[in-house]
Structure 1
Amino acid sequence: MSHIAVERNRRRQMNEHLKVLRSLTPCFYIKRGDQASIIGGVIEFIKELHQVLQALESKKQRKASLSPSPSTPSPRPLLQQLPNSSGQPDHIHSPFGVDTSVGEVAACCNSSLADVEARISGPNVILKTISKRIPGQILKIIAVLEKFSFEILHLNISSMEDTVLYSFVIKIGLECQLSLEELAVQVQQSFFSEPIFLNEI
């Protein structure tokens, strides 16, 4: 087989593989049809799935090793402990009994309903929540962000079985006075509030 035929066959196989990858990846991860955009989008999608898998494994271990208690702080699958200047992680307990762990650039607030992480990324904030699928929950989170003058720049939604990961990129408004840990607590509280309907926001 000539070199030209080998190269043609290689390109054909590459194009077929890229088509398969694109068909398996949600469209909002892939902005353009070129090879770099497809591969980059697939990488982001795999990262999100990996985070969902880690959260599911953590919840499984939690159920196996701990007796259920609404006041028991849960482990944090999304964020490792960030040490403060003394080398020990800081902790703040939210009003409803869940554990909020705080670092210089990140905060995490977990409960039996959801894991919430907020962290600084350049000029913006990355907000992630992992929970069971709750009808109307995305609207409640958006309502919290708008209430405290955050502008939503981007939103990714990934799901596996009955678990969903919401990943927001948000811009801090000039009127916003919340710290990262306060943001995490406010979003966590939205999981305990009444459902919101479209005509209410």
Structure 2
Amino acid sequence: SLEEELGLPAINMETPLQQRRKRRRTRSNKNKEEIENQRMTHIAVERNRRKQMNDYLAVLRSLMPSSYAQRGDQASIVGGAINYVKELEHILQSMEPRRTTTTTTIHEADTSTSSLVRPFSDFFTFPQYSTKSSSSVTESSSSPAEIEVTMAEGHANIKIMAKKKPRQLLKLVASIQSLRLSLLHLNATTRDNSIFYSISVKVEEGSQLNTVDDIATALNQIIRGIEEES
């Protein structure tokens, strides 16, 4: 151009109105990009929140008997959990008088069985394994522990009552993780020479344990192995 040949600065031939419109289009494009980025971020956050909520609801559902939440919607699960907690509170209250009236004189021959079965026995509904042989449990012979497993949507709730053994908790956790079960929650309560475990796990992909009986059988073998090592 003539300006370039003469070394003069280029002259903007656009009118002020055209320049304002151009600036508006630039700002408008930036605003659209920002709005779209914010929208996508909000969608990702909301999707993650829903996934987390569904995981928590699945765990909550696995922690109670199926009769308390026969439907899978949020209201049924939360309502069932409330009723289940109230029922557990009632059980605990009913156990208090027994503690005060139970005599401390127990025959040595009955100690190995009675002291194991009596504590926490009300927390078991339909155990797959029991310390007493019964037609209602999986094993025809007695087990070293009370074991009950329930499942819902890939999450399992485990209840174990056994005799306390050295390093039992560490061995139990390590064995559970080796079975490709992700540990979500664990609570241990001791009483006398017994210990009650309440465990929530998520079954990982590739795990060979797909049913409650599979998990209960594996746990029974773990507890039996810990007993034999002790």
TM-score between the two structures when normalised by the length of structure 2:
0.41
More strand by share: 1
Q: Point out the structure with max Rg over C-alpha.
A: 2
More helix by share: 2
